[in-house]
A and B are shown apart, each in its own frame.
Chain A
Amino acid sequence: MKTFKIGGVHPPEYKISEKQPIEVLSLPETVSIPLAQHLGVPAVPVVKKGDKVKTGQLIAKGEAFISANIHSSATGTVSKIDDVIDDSGYRKKAVIIKVENEQWEDGIDTSDNLIKECNLTQEDIVNKVNQMGIVGMGGATFPSHVKLQVPKGKKAEYLLINGVECEPYLTSDHRLMLEKSHELMVGITIQMKALGVDKAIIGVENNKPDALEKLSKLAKEFKGITVEPLKVKYPQGAEKQLIKALVNREVPSGKLPIEVGCVVHNVGTSFAVYEAVQKNKPLIERVVTVTGSNVKKPSNFLTRIGTPVISLIEASGGLLPNTGKVISGGPMMGKALNDLNVPVTKGTSGILVISDYEAQRVSLQNCIRCAKCVTICPMALEPYLLALISDKQRYEEAEENQIMDCMECGSCHYICPSGRPLLDQIRVGKANVGKMIRERN
């Protein structure tokens, strides 16, 4: 079975919510929609205090090339445009809407009918994706319309669809592949058309046999789409690792996947593209897994953007008393939240609630030079060295040792028997090396 060659770990899977069908979460009283939900320049608001907005109406425009539009996820009145704490732990600008009776913006098809035919041109598809504010739903939230435009002089050969979901606990992509498989396939066909490729491969880890079976059966009806089972290994869902696993090509350091003729999209993104192009529906909701040992009923919710995290937790039974940590995302790369009113954004794939005991770090010991971190680093770096030289502030040396190639997957931190904060130190180093490089240019 295919997988990537260098490094990787296999943390316990804990996919406890994989049998829970997607439920629609009711709207909260207010939604706060952050203006920076994507990588790049924050969107500029086009509504003001007191404005009435409908569900799906444009409320902020992404004006730069790498930016994305933001739409209202509810009908109501804009009560203010103010700073709210988002998952970065800092206050950022957001549009706060008081929710009233639902009324959709004109032209949006809210029915469940499957529309297979798409007669738009490449340019029209990209424009539509741009208008509807689609971003990468795997977590990095890179604006999708940028990825769907192949730069001049480059040629895309493969569209790779990421259905790996290698993070433990998370099941939102798994449920999406099972329940929206037809829509997903149409979405992939549209993306293939936009890129001008005739081959698409969906990579799915083989711990999701039901999704694999369903998609493989369905793929026969669609031209050019194949489904590839992958060996379970973290971080297979990372772009470069997925390319290595599926088509055995290596993306050069500091380059984009298009360099080797590949474009990678998440299954969530493909579904969002389907809804945007075929149904005129902007990205205003996503599937969020609420899971962990301290949740009474692990669930998958179809959640409107801007819903506070606390409503999701309450909908799945509320917080247990010995809760230690609430994490946005998975246990490996997620971010611990310091406030439960943080809104769900386009990049929130899951909410993980763990106990005091699980949240504790292993006690810190000296490095015993076992080199486990070197063995498992999927980018073939030397984490112990990078951590050490970052700590000693030898940033030039860190740059020479390719610290910028680190994608912060956390495998080194996970595997270290001495519980050393390798990733913490590398992150500080990366930030400083990045600053150094920016100053030099």
Chain B
Amino acid sequence: MNEVVLYSVLSIGGLGTLAAIILYIVAQRFKVIEDPRIDEVEEILPAANCGGCGLAGCRNFAERVVKAGTLEGFNCPPGGQDTMSEVAKVLGLEVEEQEPMVAVVRCSGSVQLAPPKTKFEGLNTCAFAHSLYSGQSGCPYGCLGEGDCVVSCAFDAMYMDENTRLPVVIEENCVACEACVKACPRDIIEMRKKGKKSRRIFVSCINREKGGVARKNCKVACIGCGRCVKECKFEAITLENNLAYIDFNKCTLCRKCPPVCPTGAIHELNFPARKPKQKKEDKSAEA
């Protein structure tokens, strides 16, 4: 009887020891050495897994950024400047100051200004409408108003205006993740510098048709007349394919171009109201 107990204890114990040795050797042999900083970086990231950085989630971002050892080409849009400087601290790097960006909708062809000529009854997505035809207003560049961008936004930073049927960006919520830029089949949405006090001047149109054709469909289309180009002293405005474009790196926000635009296609945001030609009052208003 004792012998049975002894043999069982010995054989099971022996097997256990053998397994332990094999496991130890295997563990040593195939050890994955992971940089502990990956976990640290991941902790800092917002864990939204939004994909705004262009990578598959926050873990992937952490792995890549630690492996690269540089912050060049990496940006966490929802985390913003603060997150990036913390990541830099973990990696012992300096973070470059980056201008905050914000999404801008470059179309003002509302239901009122670019009245619909046809009725669309198909699947309610911009991607489908774009594949079918030029849109209800007839403008082949304008907003289709089905709201693919609003659906794509993970930060509640966009909504469809019920009256105009155009998307509106809520600046405070926008983290410049570019999801809407990718969702828009017509490239209407652009990431632009947020600017001082969130002030921006941009051409709210991307129609490249000839002036007359564009104007037929929409009252506020850019007709490519070039008056803004002449007005701009900083060479910030270029005219290409019947369309003016303001380079936000060159624009000094001098507010000279919006009044000369005959169709009102140039928009200015968050500026104080214009006071007609009374410079002193203007200054006091700004202060």
Contact = CB atoms under 8 A, between A and B. Distances in A.
Interface stretch (B56-64, B116-124, B159-167): B116-124
Interface string A341-361: 000000000000000000111
A189 B117 CA distance: 48
Nearest to B132: A89
B133 A427 contact: no
A328 to B, nearest CB: 12
Interface in B97-129: 117-118, 121-123, 125, 127-128
Given A89-B133, A90-B134, A421 B140 contact: no
A103 interface: no
A88 interface: yes
A424 B121 CA distance: 11
B43 to A, nearest CB: 30
A324 to B, nearest CB: 9
B138 interface: yes
B118 A338 contact: yes
A220 interface: no
A427 B117 contact: no
A391 B140 CA distance: 24
B268 interface: no
Contacts of B131: 427-428, 431
Contacts of B122: 361, 421, 424
A338 B138 contact: yes
B133 A90 contact: yes
Interface in A230-288: none
Interface in A389-441: 421, 424-425, 427-428, 431
A152 B138 CA distance: 47
Given A338-B138, A421-B122, A428 B132 contact: no
B146 to A, nearest CB: 12
A91 interface: yes
Interface string A70-101: 00000000000001010011110000000000
Nearest to B124: A421
Interface in B52-98: none
B134 A89 contact: yes
B190 interface: no
A88 B133 contact: yes
A428 B134 contact: no
Contacts of A360: 121
B147 to A, nearest CB: 15
Interface residues of B, number: 16
A338 B123 contact: no
Interface residues of A, number: 19
A257 B170 CA distance: 54
Nearest to B121: A361
A425 B134 contact: no
A427 B118 CA distance: 21
Interface in A351-393: 359-361
B127 A338 contact: no
A424 B133 contact: no
Nearest to B133: A89
Interface string B126-153: 0110011110001010000000000000
B127 A428 contact: yes
A424 B140 contact: no
B128 A424 contact: yes
B209 interface: yes
Nearest to A421: B123
A344 B213 CA distance: 22
Contacts of A428: 123, 125, 127-128, 131
B128 A91 contact: no
Given A90-B140, A424-B123, A338 B134 contact: yes
A338 B140 contact: no
A424 B126 CA distance: 12
Contact of B209 (A91, A361, A425): A91
A394 to B, nearest CB: 15
B123 A425 contact: yes
A395 B205 CA distance: 32
A338 B209 contact: no
Nearest to B140: A90
A338 B117 contact: yes
B134 A85 contact: yes
Q: Which of B117, B132, B138 has the most CB of A within 10 A?
A: B132
Nearest to B126: A428
Contacts of B125: 428
Contacts of B121: 359-361
A374 B213 CA distance: 45
Contacts of A361: 121-122
Given A85-B134, A428-B131, A91 B118 contact: no
Contacts of A90: 133-134, 140
Contacts of A424: 122-123, 128
A310 to B, nearest CB: 15
B215 to A, nearest CB: 15
A83 B123 CA distance: 28
A89 B141 CA distance: 12
Contacts of B118: 338
Contacts of A89: 132-134, 140
Interface of A: 83, 85, 88-91, 335-336, 338-339, 359-361, 421, 424-425, 427-428, 431
- Please list the 6 inter-chain residue pairs (A to B) with the smallest Cβ-Cβ separation, ordered nearest first: A89-B133, A424-B123, A421-B123, A338-B118, A89-B134, A428-B127
Given A335-B132, A360-B121, A431-B127, 10 more contacts: A89-B134, A90-B133, A91-B213, A338-B133, A421-B122, A421-B123, A427-B131, A428-B123, A428-B131, A431-B131
27 contacts: A83-B209, A85-B134, A89-B132, A89-B133, A89-B134, A90-B140, A91-B140, A338-B118, A338-B134, A338-B138, A339-B138, A359-B121, A360-B121, A361-B121, A361-B122, A421-B122, A421-B123, A424-B128, A425-B123, A425-B128, A427-B128, A428-B123, A428-B127, A428-B128, A428-B131, A431-B127, A431-B131
